[in-house]
Structure 1
Amino acid sequence: MGIWACLGVISPFPYYYFLWNNPQSWVDLCGRGRDPCRVMALVSHFLKLVQFIALFSVSTLSWPPPLYFWPLFLFGQFLNFRSGALLLLLYLCGCLWEYGIYLPFPLQLMDGHDLKMLFLCLWDHWNDPVFVERVRLKSMSAMEKLFTNLRKGAQLLLGESGTYYGVRFGKNIPWVTEFPFGVISDPQYVGSITSLLACLHWVPLLYIIFWVLGYVFMMKVESKEDPSTRAKPLS
């Protein structure tokens, strides 16, 4: 299982490397009428699923997570999805506060956790109908904004074509300077690495290292781009 898990974790990176260095071959393979960025995105989603299955197969899940999980994971998702991830967190917290009164939480789930006292303090407010209604309205507002803002962050700022090598496939992609770009180099990779490090409590270090090295390798590959090697779109 260890070898197969390692292969699964690194499976997308040879694919990315090939596309970055052979964009014309990919455009030709996709043919007329197909967006090479869209096709790349579909294949990438499948390979990402393979990665997660490989990682899950060697993981030892437990609850609650260590305290370092939350800042690392949320910061990583913030870089990838920016306000959308924060709105999602707000909505989930709103649901927890609103419906937590009906769940065995936090007495069983959080038993022994460092944050237990914090949630026990909140428990006193969960029976307050004014408090619950206020949270319900805020969580509904956050959910409404979530669907309009979830694509923000690195992937929205770049768009699908910008995220999936549109420049290499001959598309005209405008330069992005809005945060986190211009402040953090390769924020989508940095965010993913940060989120992976947050999972060290459950996943053996070896597999995290393999995955992180894949990101570092692609950051190095994508740091240099020769415009003369870009693909020419099929007419």
Structure 2
Amino acid sequence: MSFSLFLAFFAAAVVLSFERLTYIYVWRRPRAFASRCRRWRLAADPVAGLERLFYLFKVIQILVFAAWIFMFSAGQWPQLAAWPFLSGGIVLILVGQMLNLMTFWRLGRVGIFYGVRFGHEVAWCRQFPFSVFRNPQYLGTVLSIWGLFIAVRFEQPDWLLIPLLQTLYYALGAHFEKDSPRQPGAYVQAEVRATG
């Protein structure tokens, strides 16, 4: 790995880690997050605050991916992979986005943005994609990332780095966002109602 590739990977790893670390923090410390939302005037409702951060993190993620692809395509429009890999990448992106859309549709805004951690009642979903996958939104995102890098960077020396990093981050996020008996789902119902 060249030094410039190492530096780019390190920078991407740091910047992309903020999203996963934030979600782990919010999942494990919802009271503290709700308090910070109000104090920093991010939003009065922590669900809305997390939703705003979600969109910010997606913009950052897209910018990191675009910068990576542009930088390692020698500043030119990236050359697409050969047809079988390009079509495989497109299929992964489509399947991934379908899983993301289904997850948003099934859980709704409050469910997606950890409303259960803030005292909202969110029904447990057992329908597809939850009937097949434990974390369909994370799986959908990871499949989309793999599809993108297969389509535009496959067979280049750097093509695996960002997808592997993001797979690791999402797997760790899913692991650390699990509930434990000491952490019931709804933490701050009274606080949210008192300040809402």
Structure with more relative contact order (C-alpha pairs < 8 Å, separation 6 or more): 1
After TM superposition, the structure 1 stretch with the greater mean CA deviation from structure 2, 11-20 or 56-65, is: 56-65
* 1:128-181 Cα shifts (integer Å, max 9, x gaps): xxxxxxxxxxxxxxxxxxxxxxxxx10121111111111111211111122111
- Map of 1:58 onto structure 2: 68
Provide runs of 4+ in structure 1 moved above 3 Å: none
Alpha-carbon distance in structure 1 between the residues aligned to 2:178 and 2:28: 12
Q: CA deviation at 1:206?
A: 1.2
Give the one of 24, 37, 42 matched to 2:31. Answer: 24
Is the contact made by 2:118 and 2:187 (CA closer than 8 Å) also made in structure 1? yes
User: In 1, Cα distance between the equivalents of 2:51 and 2:186?
Assistant: 21
RMSD over aligned Cα, in angstroms?
Answer: 2.1
TM-score (norm 1): 0.64
CA contact (8 A) 1:5 1:57 kept: no
Distance in 2 of aligned mates of 1:42 and 1:227: 25
Matches of 1:167 and 1:196, distance apart in 2: 28
The one-letter code of the counterpart of 1:4 is A
Can you give the 5+ residue segments of structure 2 that lack an aligned partner in the other structure? 1-6, 154-158
| Distance 1:228-1:175 versus aligned 2 partners, 3 A rule | closer
CA distance in 2, matches of 1:9, 1:38: 21
Larger radius of gyration: 1
CA contact 1:6–1:54 (8 Å) conserved in 2? no
Q: Partner residue of 1:119? A: none
CA gap 1:39/1:228 in 2 versus in 1, 3 angstroms: closer
Quick one: distance in 1 between partners of 2:121 and 2:134?
21
Partner secondary structure for residue 100 of structure 2 = helix
Identical pairs, percent: 25
Decide whether aligned partners of structure 1 residues 49 and 177 sit closer, same or farther in structure 2, where only a CA change above 3 A counts. same
**Greater share of residues in helix:** 2
Q: Residues of 1 paired with 2:185 and 2:87: CA distance?
A: 48
Unaligned runs of 5+ in 1: 82-152
